[in-house]
């Protein structure tokens, strides 16, 4: 009996493995990708172009657009678009409509554009700090999808949204984590709504990868310094300067040790776009697949205990400022006393000489 069950299990596993590798041809299909200046979007645009796919690659900067055009074929069309500006999104939509053949639409819409955001404790950041992250990573995705959705529905295509493994577990990623949790919920709801139109929605959940945002240490250091400079004396005393330094060191180490195999992410996006039987979610990286996602199934009190004790998270250094101030005051007093000693020695010397 056990042998029969084992054979059935192996047979089912082989069947799923084979079905997972049945793909559609990307040739002749039209895909729009946002955020193609660097990182995942840039690598994906180049890969799809090599496979014969017609790509609309949106870029934010002229320099990024120029570099992408120089290394791709005429199947790839670079379009300038800023997801923060509604007018820019509408102009990009009109340009795509003009370039699409009559009666065709977008097989794929890949919402990849995003910013890393601020790290650290939430009370370090202002409303404006949170607003920019949410407007790019969440509201920008929603607006781009709403504008281009008619073209995707037209051919019963696919929408791929870039989330993050950070959305699966609480961490120190500030507004970035909030925006990615929003992407998860938005994508799940959108998938149910678009089921009636035979249009599918897929979520990519990558771990830490060496993209342009992760390589720029200043993306973390400068905001942390800005946060420290505008803290009140009470906040500085509560957290301590070393808490800021530890956050900088932590994300500096994450940047250095991040996975360089970004093809794992672009391969997942391509599977979502062209697999006959695509997944709803794509956890990319061992940390997400075997730690973060299973960890999300634990009771909250267990998950909190494990994260608090085993996940690196700089803790406040209470009273550090007072100790530092006391040390400086003591040093100042010592300096004054040393000066007085020197004067007394000079006076004594002068008295003896007289």
- Exposed e or buried b for every residue in 113-149, given b needs 16+ CB within 10 A? bbbbbbbbbeebbeeebbeebbebbbbbbbbbbebbb
**Of how many residues is the chain composed?**
354
Catalytic residue (choose from 30, 176, 186, 282): 176
In terms of Cβ atoms closer than 10 Å to its own Cβ (0-12, 13-18, 19+), residue 166 is buried
Cα–Cα distance measured from residue 18 to residue 353, given in angstroms and rounded to the nearest whole number: 103
Distance of CA 207 to the CA centre of its chain: 9
Cα–Cα distance measured from residue 25 to residue 30, given in angstroms and rounded to the nearest whole number: 12
Instruction: Check: CB of residue 79 under 8 Å from CB of residue 58.
Output: yes
HSE toward the beta carbon, residue 221, CA cutoff 13 A:
10
Does 176 participate in catalysis according to the annotation? yes
Q: Take residue 67 and report the two structure tokens written for it.
A: 């570099």
Catalytic residues: 176
């Amino acid at each position: 009996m056990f042998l029969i069950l084992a054979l059935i299990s192996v047979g089912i596993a082989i069947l799923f493995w084979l079905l997972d590798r049945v793909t559609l041809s990307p040739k002749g299909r039209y895909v729009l990708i946002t955020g193609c200046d660097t990182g995942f979007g840039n690598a994906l645009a180049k890969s799809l172009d090599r496979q014969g796919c017609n790509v609309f690659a949106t870029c934010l900067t002229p320099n990024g657009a120029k570099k992408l055009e120089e290394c791709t074929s005429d199947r790839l069309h670079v379009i300038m678009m800023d997801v923060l500006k509604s007018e820019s999104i509408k102009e990009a939509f009109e340009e795509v409509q003009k370039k699409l053949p009559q009666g065709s639409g977008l097989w794929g819409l890949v919402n990849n554009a995003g910013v890393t955001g601020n790290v650290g404790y939430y009370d370090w950041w202002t409303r404006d700090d949170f607003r920019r992250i949410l407007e790019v990573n969440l509201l920008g995705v929603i607006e781009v999808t709403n504008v281009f959705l008619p073209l995707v529905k037209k051919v019963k295509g696919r929408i791929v949204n870039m989330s993050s493994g950070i959305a699966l577990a609480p961490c120190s990623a500030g507004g970035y984590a909030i925006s990615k949790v929003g992407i998860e919920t938005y994508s799940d709801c959108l998938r149910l709504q678009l089921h009636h139109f035979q249009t599918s929605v897929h979520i990519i959940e990558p771990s830490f990868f060496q993209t342009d945002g992760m390589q720029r240490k200043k993306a973390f250091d400068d905001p942390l310094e800005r946060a420290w400079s505008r803290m009140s004396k009470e906040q500085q005393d509560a957290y301590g300067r070393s808490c800021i330094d530890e956050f900088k060191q932590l994300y500096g180490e994450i940047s250095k040790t991040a996975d360089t195999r970004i093809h794992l992410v672009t391969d997942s996006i391509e599977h979502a776009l062209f697999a006959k039987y695509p997944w709803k979610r794509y956890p990319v990286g061992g940390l997400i697949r075997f730690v973060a996602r299973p960890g999300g199934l634990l009771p909250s009190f267990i998950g909190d205990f494990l994260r608090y004790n085993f996940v690196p998270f700089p803790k406040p250094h209470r009273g550090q400022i007072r100790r530092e101030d006391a040390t400086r005051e003591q040093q100042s007093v010592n300096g004054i006393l040393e000066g007085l000693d020197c004067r007394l020695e000079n006076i004594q010397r002068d008295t003896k000489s007289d």
